[in-house]
Structure 1
């Protein structure tokens, strides 16, 4: 694969818990090309979200290598990782993670302000319009439905124009019709900004819209599933 945006080589993740050390990911090697859309699928507990966290530098691999845009994330300190995510990545979580004391406009503008953008609020307003929430800019999260909150989260992730967009179960907390709307918004943002998109999902219809699916099972790539396709 030429010019991969994301590369994992023998990436491993183990965490220490009350019951001792738990091995979560076992020797994951994969590449994601620029502009590609990849769905991470597999049973609950297979390591999908953990893999996404490695790709975003939100978890540090305990073995192997994780590279994004040519940078070795495993060699970066926490401050450098935070700056890298701010400048190059957008992350969307299932639970939205909006700031409850801020309006939709303020939530979307915050990462732009942190990046020093003088047009933070103009761009935030543009992104909210793009996801159909131009009429909700001054509303707080508690005044919005789950689908609206997820659209704010998507606008916030897309506003800095990241090269990489990561989404963890973006439709997981939503009903069917609302989830379909979020799918359309998510892929619309990808199309508008040309970002590379990696998403975790249990929804077959969302995975089917991706260019490629990567299945996990027990913390490993499901090579049997890959071979069957």
Structure 2
């Protein structure tokens, strides 16, 4: 079986006012299809940067990244965007909903971009799956943070992605709403068989994943099964 993701000697450096900053150092790892992986570590350890290069949202400085057997480091910008559209879903800490679109329109957008004819019917069903059928025609500003994150989760999962990336999906939510979002995230992943990779500060949340990688200073500090 092809791994969902395979990274070989991946490094990331960014240029800033203070010069070059090394973010990731020679990261090598594999994530089997259908498994869940938690990325943990102190602030500034490179967790979110690693997630972004996995999804092709940040370009690695060196090394190779294979997603579903395809070397995405060799793809041009347009091909990479199409690959992400067809195979990946992303949930951000800050929701990133389009403020001028209703919940239904936000969720339908990736389906419309993919040319799906029944985009709005599928989007409506996905909103219902996350308990937001009553918010279909509301705009983000008319919803709570927890509701906005549910919309973002519905948008990420509506295309039935093979890889689901989540960057601190509960970071802007209270404990109750955060717990509800995580339960939905794992439930949707299980229903649709996606590979889930999640950045979190919570060791308790990471323990729900099949494997946990702890980063420190842009390097893999430990890799273990969550039960260990």
TM-score greater than 0.5 by the shorter chain: yes
CA contact (8 A) 2:211 2:224 kept: no
Please provide the CA RMSD for this pair.
Answer: 1.3
1:65 corresponds in structure 2 to 64
CA contact (8 A) 2:14 2:20 kept: yes
Provide the C-alpha distance between the structure 2 equivalents of 1:143 and 1:208, rounded to a whole number of angstroms: 34
Provide the C-alpha distance between the structure 1 equivalents of 2:149 and 2:122, rounded to a whole number of angstroms: 18
Question: How does 1:1-229 map onto structure 2 within 5 Å?
Answer: 2-223=1-222, 226=224, 229=228
> How far did 1:226 drift?
4.4
Provide the C-alpha distance between the structure 2 equivalents of 1:127 and 1:209, rounded to a whole number of angstroms: 24
Q: TM-score, normalised by structure 1?
A: 0.97
> Residue by residue, what CA displacement relative to the aligned partner does 1:27-68 show, whole Å, maximum 9, x if unpaired?
000000010000000000000000000100001111111110
Which blocks of at least 5 consecutive residues in structure 1 are unaligned? none
Provide the C-alpha distance between the structure 2 equivalents of 1:143 and 1:206, rounded to a whole number of angstroms: 29
Provide the C-alpha distance between the structure 2 equivalents of 1:210 and 1:226, rounded to a whole number of angstroms: 10
CA contact (8 A) 2:2 2:69 kept: no
Provide the C-alpha distance between the structure 2 equivalents of 1:103 and 1:86, rounded to a whole number of angstroms: 20
Which blocks of at least 5 consecutive residues in structure 2 are unaligned? none
Provide the C-alpha distance between the structure 2 equivalents of 1:111 and 1:135, rounded to a whole number of angstroms: 21
Q: TM-score, normalised by structure 2?
A: 0.97
Provide the C-alpha distance between the structure 2 equivalents of 1:226 and 1:187, rounded to a whole number of angstroms: 20
> How far did 1:208 drift?
1.2
Q: Which runs of 4+ in 1 moved over 2 A?
A: none
Provide the C-alpha distance between the structure 1 equivalents of 2:202 and 2:104, rounded to a whole number of angstroms: 29
SS for the counterpart of 1:156 is helix
> Residue by residue, what CA displacement relative to the aligned partner does 1:96-150 show, whole Å, maximum 9, x if unpaired?
0000011000000001000000010011011100001011111100000000000
Provide the C-alpha distance between the structure 1 equivalents of 2:187 and 2:204, rounded to a whole number of angstroms: 16
> How far did 1:205 drift?
2.2
Provide the C-alpha distance between the structure 1 equivalents of 2:155 and 2:2, rounded to a whole number of angstroms: 27
Provide the C-alpha distance between the structure 2 equivalents of 1:34 and 1:226, rounded to a whole number of angstroms: 17
